[in-house]
């Protein structure tokens, strides 16, 4: 199972941000765009063409899926599509986070060695 997840690494940055946005809850496309913008304090902006092209490819890769659940009609727009992580998508996100943590650890080690 881990091998299949690791086959996707390193993740494209936009894929990483989309998966991370879906880690805690299901979201629609605009919600993903806003989450990424807020989380990165405006440094990363997923434009609609990039976002929806990536969503299409993430669905094809079986990392996310469209959710059948919807908010109450008075809180929703019928045109919205909600997305959620698949079990494989969660494993891929976890593997990418571990890979990035290893890089951060390596940076800290190098810095410590440089100051000794």
Q: What architecture is domain 2-115?
A: Orthogonal Bundle (1.10)
Burial of 41 (0-12, 13-18, 19+ CB in 10 A): exposed
Q: Is 104 helix (H, G, I), strand (E, B) or coil?
A: helix
Predicted confidence (pLDDT) per residue in 67-106, tens digit: 987 766 566 666 788 999 999 999 999 999 999 999 999 9
Residue with tokens 């998508």: 89
Yes or no: say if 5 and 95 are a contact pair by the CB < 8 Å rule: yes
CA separation for the pair 50, 59 (Å, rounded):
14
Predicted confidence (pLDDT) per residue in 22-38, tens digit: 999 999 999 999 999 99
Q: Where are the domains of the chain?
A: 2-115
DSSP structure class, residue 64: E
Residue 16 pLDDT: 98
């Amino acid at each position: 199972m881990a091998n299949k997840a690791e086959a996707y690494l390193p993740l494209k940055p936009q894929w990483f941000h989309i998966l991370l946005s879906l880690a805690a809850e299901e979201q629609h496309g605009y919600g993903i765009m806003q989450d990424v913008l807020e989380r990165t304090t405006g440094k990363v902006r997923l434009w609609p063409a990039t976002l929806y092209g990536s969503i299409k490819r993430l669905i094809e890769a079986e990392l996310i899926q469209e959710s059948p659940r919807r908010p109450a009609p008075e809180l929703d727009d019928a045109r919205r599509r909600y997305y959620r992580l698949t079990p494989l998508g969660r494993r891929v996100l976890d593997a990418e986070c571990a890979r990035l943590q290893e890089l951060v650890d390596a940076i800290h080690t190098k810095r410590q060695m440089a100051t000794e």
